[in-house]
Amino acid sequence: MQYVQLTDDLRFSRIIHGLWRLSDWNLSTDQTLALMEQCLDRGITTFDHADIYGNYSCESLFGQALAQKPSLRDSMQIVTKCGIKLTSEKYPERKINFYDTSKKHIIQSANQSLINLNTDYVDVLLIHRPDPFMNPEEVAEAFIQLKEEGKVRYFGVSNFKRSQFDMLQAFLPFSLVTNQLEISPTYLNHFDEGTIEQCQQHKLAPMAWSPLGGGAIFTATDERSTRVRKKLEEIGAEIGAQSIDQVAYTWLLSHPANIMPIVGSGRIERIESAVNALELNMTRMQWFQILEASKGRPVD
């Protein structure tokens, strides 16, 4: 396993396990614990959550498993997110989905996540989505309080564009440590909008959610996905990949921004496939061939 040093005392495994669909995997508590241990055995130490995942259930499912073997906590980094309020049976007063990055909600959400995850602290707390109603002074106050209380070690954002990242950072006395972004061979927006370059500018490794395009590289029939799938198969044969998902992971891992793919699978074979992608090498020309297939035209 490769690791990325985010700060002097915080490093993430290059492959991150994502728990977005944990409630859909229908695992028992023992099976969830076994999956956590299998990830750790393969060097995956970083686990990605959010308060809303699984209709507010995934953190608790993970925490119940961790409670069976709390010693594992020292071997892992837990990331979670806050800032989205969903309509739910748990919250009948909510008429719509909306964002809430108020100081009150951030602190309440973080405290609830600690209870759900059965831990005294989270390693990184992210604001889940850019909030057009955000008061950055309130966010800063919440972050500072949580840090001083020892409940959150570091902070970051998710899905933030360059200006949104810069705006929040300007109000903080410490640096944000990551920006979790949708990045895949079929989703290039953050390359085009300069968000990846900003991460490089600040030496800030981005986390990549939906690195397989939400499964589009396997099954989607639109022209773009079909082009990309064909090119992944071609490049895969050249580099000795066992499957096209390995090629997609290698494409991300090859980039100098230290992109950290989030693998959201409950199947250890799929997780191992991502880990094994770390052993593959892709040339610059092959990387651009996949980019060209995604764009549908030669680079300018």
- One domain, residues 60 and 163: yes
**pLDDT value at residue 261:** 98
Residues 6+ positions from 30 with CB-CB distance below 8 Å: 65, 68
Q: How many domains does the chain have?
A: 2
- One domain, residues 40 and 96: yes
Q: Please indicate, yes or no, if residue 199 is contained in any of the structural domains.
A: no
What residues of the chain score a pLDDT lower than 50?
A: none
Q: Please indicate, yes or no, if residue 94 is contained in any of the structural domains.
A: yes
Q: Please indicate, yes or no, if residue 21 is contained in any of the structural domains.
A: yes
**pLDDT value at residue 203:** 95
Identify the active-site residue in 3, 53, 56, 154.
53
Contact at 8 Å (CB) between 156 and 177? yes
**pLDDT value at residue 194:** 95
What's the Cα-to-Cα distance from 216 to each of 138, 225, 254, 272, rounded to whole Å? Answer: 39, 6, 21, 20
- One domain, residues 29 and 71: yes
**pLDDT value at residue 246:** 97
What's the Cα-to-Cα distance from 20 to each of 50, 81, 188, 232, 265, rounded to whole Å? Answer: 7, 11, 22, 26, 9
- State which of 123, 157, 177 marks the end of a domain: 177
pTM, 2 dp: 0.97
Q: Please indicate, yes or no, if residue 275 is contained in any of the structural domains.
A: yes
- One domain, residues 146 and 30: yes
- One domain, residues 38 and 144: yes
Structural domain containing residue 241? 208-292
- One domain, residues 173 and 214: no
- One domain, residues 75 and 140: yes
Question: In whole angstroms, what is the distance from residue 108 CA to residue 56 CA?
Answer: 14
Q: Known catalytic residue: 121?
A: no
Q: Please indicate, yes or no, if residue 201 is contained in any of the structural domains.
A: no
List, in sequence order, every residue forming a beta bridge with 78; answer none if it has no partner.
Answer: 47
Question: In whole angstroms, what is the distance from residue 47 CA to residue 19 CA?
Answer: 7
**pLDDT value at residue 147:** 98
